[in-house]
Amino acid sequence: MATLTYRDALNQALREEMQRDPNVFLMGEEVGVYQGAYKVSRGLLEEFGPQRIVDTPIAELGFAGIGVGAAMGGIRPVIEFMTWNFAVLALDQIVNSAAKMLYMSGGQIPMPIVFRGPNGAALQLASQHSQAWESWLTHIPGLKVVAPATPADAKGLLKSAIRHNNPVIVLEGEMLYNMKGEVPDGEHLVPIGKAEIKRAGSDVTLLCHSKTLSVALKAAEQLAEQDISAEVLDLRSLRPMDEAAILESVQKTNRAVVVEEGWPYAGVGAQVVDIIQRDAFDDLDAPVQRVTQADVPMPYNKLLERAAKASPEKVVAAARRVLYLDS
């Protein structure tokens, strides 16, 4: 196995898929000459040229629409948004064209397109540039949504997304690009719709995805010091979710805490709770707890921002509540 950063794992996935299939191309703001806002496309312009690594103006609706048209014609575009916060301007193309085309055409027109870019809060980017987009996008039939937390999953899920014949949203954690981890050598695909246990445990399940994986793992370490065994389940795929993996873990531990980066109201965690209460209610020894961002626009102030985010301490407190160790 090689040790790669999250950004280099994404770069490797793009390079391998573009070498494998001449119909794959990358388009977005500064993906060519500047090599991407987070340098994910480093070296690709030199290898594949400007017809396959396409720099665009700051016009998200426009280049998302070009991507949709290209996909309708059988090409496989990868559309990079400099941040998903800017993608709000492209939602008409994502929601009304990409997501609905297969349905509206009676199955005649597939839509092999990937929309990807950084998601969620970084450090002091304030309210308009710190939003987690999961719940917005998972709400839409016709879209698949993945949120990799490790370099290995970033590579494997992006490759699977590019090969998929309908739209896939890839939400890359904005604070994860420098993260290092082992990535399998050779062909590495992670199936869309499959969760993975990142730490086994027996007392409580911590369900997470993307950046909250590190939060959950740190919480599990702190809980272990208190003789509490926490299982950490990385959802990886948010639509579809791996319901079988969720239920299997909760039926083993009988308690659950859902950790997410977004706001609490109608968040991804609410969907996880619905799955658990619907099919594992009798296995629960305590109500499910959720740890989310505070229900406010993200503050710019450093201390307030820290207070608004999910943290290992908040997860530990929630785990202790479901174990009836604290009220």
pLDDT tens per residue across span 166-210: 999 999 998 999 999 999 988 999 999 999 999 999 999 999 999
Task: Specify whether the CB–CB gap between 116 and 137 falls below 8 A.
Answer: no
178 lies in the same domain as 280: no
Cα–Cα distances in angstroms (integers) from residue 73 to residues 52, 68, 77, 109, 162, in the given order: 15, 9, 11, 9, 16
Residues in the chain: 327
Task: Specify whether the CB–CB gap between 238 and 212 falls below 8 A.
Answer: no
Could you say which of 183, 205, 240 is where a domain stops? 183
Structure confidence at residue 126 (pLDDT): 87
- What's this model's pTM, rounded to 2 decimal places? 0.96
- pLDDT bin (cut points 50, 70, 90) of residue 36 is very high
Which residues on neighbouring strands pair with residue 124, listed in sequence order? none
What is the Cα–Cα distance from 84 to 118, expressed in whole angstroms? 6
Could you say which of 157, 183, 209 is where a domain stops? 183
In a domain, 215, yes or no: yes
Of all residues in the chain, the percent with pLDDT exceeding 90 is 96
Could you say which of 183, 205, 225 is where a domain stops? 183
What is the Cα–Cα distance from 60 to 113, expressed in whole angstroms? 15
Distance of CA 248 to the CA centre of its chain: 22
The H or E element that residue 116 is part of is strand 114-119
Cα–Cα distances in angstroms (integers) from residue 263 to residues 151, 165, 257, 286, in the given order: 26, 31, 15, 23
Question: For residue 125, is pLDDT > 90?
Answer: no
243 lies in the same domain as 293: yes
What is the Cα–Cα distance from 181 to 156, expressed in whole angstroms? 13
117 lies in the same domain as 227: no
Q: Give the domain range for residue 209.
A: 196-322
What is the Cα–Cα distance from 88 to 213, expressed in whole angstroms? 26
- pLDDT bin (cut points 50, 70, 90) of residue 1 is confident
CATH code of the domain in which 149 resides: 3.40.50.970
Structure confidence at residue 327 (pLDDT): 79
> Which of the residue ranges 45-49, 120-124, 280-284 would you say has the lowest mean pLDDT?
120-124
136 lies in the same domain as 218: no
70 lies in the same domain as 122: yes
Q: Is 188 a catalytic residue?
A: no
Task: Specify whether the CB–CB gap between 102 and 142 falls below 8 A.
Answer: yes
Structure confidence at residue 186 (pLDDT): 87
Distance of CA 173 to the CA centre of its chain: 7
Report which DSSP code applies to 317: H
Q: Which two tokens stand for residue 193?
A: 């719709």
Among the listed residues 60, 80, 231, 260, the single catalytic one is 60
Among the listed residues 30, 129, 243, 248, the single catalytic one is 129
15 lies in the same domain as 79: yes
Q: Is 60 a catalytic residue?
A: yes
Domains: count for the chain:
2
